[in-house]
Amino acid sequence: MTITAVKALEAVGLEQRYGSQPVLQGLDFSVRAGEIYALLGGNGAGKSTTLNLFLGLASPTAGSARVCGVEVGADPTAARSRIAYVPENVALYEHLTARENIDYLLTLARADKGRAVIEEALDAVGLTREAWDRRLAGFSKGMRQKVAIALAIARRVPVLLLDEPTSGLDPRATADFNRLLQTARARGVATLMVTHDLLGASEVADRIGFLADGRIAVELTAQGGERFDVRALHQRYVHVGAAA
């Protein structure tokens, strides 16, 4: 599926402050169906705050966060039902197998949990079949991410939120993870990933936004076979970070 004009995620004039400290100051951006958007910024730039606002875990001081047209502040449950969130450290049940985790979490979400649905999702993310019935206690971070994204695929949610997804992954696991995102993209999922990993973002993102001073300072779109000029991206990242 190609990128569409449908806005699955929208930040409209988002402002957030903690006490007298401003974090977001008029943040505006959107992520369309079938698009991967990477949000980059230094520590304290507001990346985690942005995720929390989309998840309904915090309320903005001003502006709005929308998920598939649903105003998060007005109906956080409806908004969250359209989202799969994968934190930096994936939280799943260690004593359950990959298959059992998905089955149980689909039950909690009141989603279709037929055997074929689960197996199709595990197969789509490239988790080897011999791992489907192994307990997660022995899984690597990359394998856990596959299970988490398989859950998103099985739930058929339109939005995927990722927090530092490539942190701690070796190059091979990162390449595997990027293929997972391409699988989600092909299914029309809108993906927002917040990250420090400039190189990883350049390899998979359709657009990259640099967050500084509580707003998008620079936004770039992938073009051609090279997608992004990594050296120019790095210079922009350093410049934006220094100016923040």
| Residues 72-93 pLDDT 10s | 999 999 999 999 998 888 889 9
Is the same domain home to 144 and 218?
Answer: no
Is the same domain home to 56 and 165?
Answer: yes
Is the same domain home to 62 and 98?
Answer: no
Burial 206-227 (b: 16+ CB within 10 A, else e): bbbbbbbbbbbbeebebeeeeb
Token output for 59: 């309320």
134 has pLDDT over 80? yes
Is the same domain home to 69 and 180?
Answer: yes
Is the same domain home to 207 and 93?
Answer: no
Distances (CA, A) of 2 to 32, 155, 207: 10, 21, 14
Looking at 157, 172, 197, the residue that finishes a domain is 157
* Pick from 222, 55, 101, 90: nearest CA to 167: 90
| Residues 5-40 pLDDT 10s | 789 999 999 999 988 889 999 999 999 999 999 999
Mean pLDDT comparison of 3-7, 214-218, 238-242, highest-scoring range: 214-218
Mean per-residue pLDDT of the chain: 90
Q: State the pTM of this model.
A: 0.88
Is the same domain home to 99 and 202?
Answer: no
242 has pLDDT over 70? no
Question: Which residues face 208 on adjacent strands?
Answer: 38, 220
3-class SS letters over 166-232: CCCCCHHHHHHHHHHHHHHHHCCCEEEEEECCHHHHHHHCCEEEEEECCEEEEEEECECCCECCHHH
Is the same domain home to 1 and 14?
Answer: yes
Is the same domain home to 143 and 113?
Answer: yes
Is the same domain home to 62 and 162?
Answer: yes
Provide the pLDDT confidence category of residue 2 given band limits of 50, 70 and 90. Answer: low
DSSP-assigned letter for residue 97: B
Range in 29-38, 120-129, 131-140 the model is least confident about: 120-129
3: left (phi over 0), alpha (psi -120 to 50) or beta: beta
Is the same domain home to 8 and 119?
Answer: no
The range of the structural domain enclosing residue 212 comes to 1-82+158-244
Number of domains in the chain: 2
Is the same domain home to 223 and 171?
Answer: yes
Is the same domain home to 70 and 176?
Answer: yes
Looking at 135, 157, 179, the residue that finishes a domain is 157
